[in-house]
Amino acid sequence: MTVLVYFKANLGLSKVATEIVTYAKKIGEQVIVLTNGEADANTLAQYGNYGASKVLWDADTNTTDNQVLSRLIGSIAEQEGAKTIIFTHDNIAKAVAPRLSVKLRAGLVSGAVDLPNSEGLVKVNVFSGKANGFVKVSTENKIITLLPNSIQPEVTSTNCPVEAIKTDSGESAIKVLTTKKPEGEIPLPEAEIVVSGGRGLKGPENWGIVENLAKALGAATACSRPVADIGWRPHHEHVGQTGVAIRPNLYIAAGISGAIQHLAGVNGSKVLVVINTDPEAPFFKAADYGVIGDVFEVLPRLTEAIEKFKASSN
């Protein structure tokens, strides 16, 4: 069986891309990677290490437009005889995969967290992470979008050939005027460690202690909903049932009460650390490690301890 893996190229080796190539290799014999945009051929060849037999690289179609990409991916899937397509569950897949699902009559499983089980059912988070569902795809063609951090990338082979391709996937009906990307920040959904602040931080001027800890850990920053609503932090940092759902290896919650709607967006995290002055805060019930204390004292101390640890382990 041939499995097609799609991701938008970037210059480095992308961790989430190595995850989906590994995933594809575990469900199919032959894995073909399709990518587009600016990239480095030597880096692309490294996806062979994770199981790709070749990489098809369309450098000229440098877009994330969902209409153009669904034509590109659809035609390559047909040409290569791939009946299963794997994406990482990012904002590109959220737009492209549903289109392809209709175009190719391919049942779509979005936000998978595991390989298909022995009955071929794919596990996904439902009810904002409060439960898991097991999905059967009834069509011959299938599309799975995999949540980041759901599988460990595995090196099983060596570099593979990279074929430059030229395609005609048409024009985009949507005109991109500008793009705003904050420099140097780690995108929240991909971050392995997240430090998050709630109303207990008292005001936006106090976020330095959250940022310092994040910096020491190489972590992304997040916040609770009221914090984004009152404008202390940007909306894209709001995690929870009505914000971004994340599943990092480590989530550190500072001054957040742990309301059910907040937990819904973070309870997929492997390890939860909670810092709160109130021993009755509901977050402690969901936490792995708890510190009853004042964030203004605990966060700087924790930052210092992390820095000391990093310095000694280097």
Partner 1 sequence: MNILVCISKSPDTTSKIAFTDGNSKFDESGVQYIVNPYDEWYALVRALELKETLGGSVTIITVGGSSDEAVIRKALAIGADEAVRIDADPKDAYYTAIQIAEYAKSANFDLILTGKETINYNGSQVAGMIAEALSLPFVSLATKLDFSGSCFQLEREIVGGIEVVEVSGPVVVSCAKGMAEQRIPNMRGIMAARTKPLQIITAAGIEGQTLFVTYDLPPAKSACKMISPDNMDELVGLLHNEAKVI
When CB distances are held under 5 to 8 angstroms depending on the partner's kind, the choice from partner 1, ligand FAD, none that residue 276 binds is: ligand FAD
Q: With CB under 6 A as the rule, give the number of residues binding ligand FAD.
A: 26
227 contacts ligand FAD (rule: CB under 6 A): yes
On whether the CB atoms of residues 245 and 260 are closer than 8 A, the answer is: no
Fill in the DSSP letter of residue 204.
G
Integer Cα distance of 147 and 114 in angstroms:
9
Q: Give 148 or 198: the residue with its C-beta nearer to partner 1.
A: 148
243 contacts ligand FAD (rule: CB under 6 A): yes
- Residues with Cβ within 8 Å of 153's Cβ and at least 6 positions away in sequence, in order, are 15, 18, 19, 21, 22, 50
202 contacts partner 1 (rule: CB under 8 A): no
Q: Give 130 or 310: the residue with its C-beta nearer to ligand FAD.
A: 130
Integer Cα distance of 182 and 282 in angstroms:
33
285 contacts partner 1 (rule: CB under 8 A): yes
Q: Give 2 or 277: the residue with its C-beta nearer to partner 1.
A: 277
- Residues with Cβ within 8 Å of 127's Cβ and at least 6 positions away in sequence, in order, are 264
- Residues with Cβ within 8 Å of 96's Cβ and at least 6 positions away in sequence, in order, are 6, 66, 69, 70, 73, 87
248 contacts ligand FAD (rule: CB under 6 A): no
On whether the CB atoms of residues 264 and 245 are closer than 8 A, the answer is: yes
Fill in the DSSP letter of residue 277.
S
* 73 three-class SS: helix
257 contacts partner 1 (rule: CB under 8 A): no
> Which one of residues 181, 231, 280, 311 is an interface residue with partner 1 (CB under 8 A)?
181
- The pair of three-digit structure tokens given for residue 210, joined into one six-digit string: 């959250």
Integer Cα distance of 212 and 254 in angstroms:
13
When CB distances are held under 5 to 8 angstroms depending on the partner's kind, the choice from partner 1, ligand FAD, none that residue 136 binds is: partner 1
Q: Give 160 or 191: the residue with its C-beta nearer to partner 1.
A: 191
194 contacts partner 1 (rule: CB under 8 A): no
Integer Cα distance of 146 and 141 in angstroms:
17
175 contacts partner 1 (rule: CB under 8 A): yes
On whether the CB atoms of residues 162 and 41 are closer than 8 A, the answer is: yes
303 contacts ligand FAD (rule: CB under 6 A): no
- Find the shortest distance in angstroms from Cβ 267 to ligand FAD: 12
286 contacts ligand FAD (rule: CB under 6 A): no
179 contacts partner 1 (rule: CB under 8 A): yes
274 contacts partner 1 (rule: CB under 8 A): yes
Q: Give 3 or 108: the residue with its C-beta nearer to partner 1.
A: 108
288 contacts partner 1 (rule: CB under 8 A): yes
Which residue's entry shows tokens 């009460």? 257
Integer Cα distance of 29 and 46 in angstroms:
18
Site string for partner 1, 61-90 (x = CB under 8 A): ---x-xx--x-------------------x
> Which one of residues 182, 205, 280, 314 is an interface residue with partner 1 (CB under 8 A)?
182
CA–chain centroid gap for 132, Å, is 18
Which positions touch ligand FAD (CB under 6 A)?
A: 198-200, 224-227, 240-243, 255-257, 259, 261-262, 265, 275-278, 281, 294-296
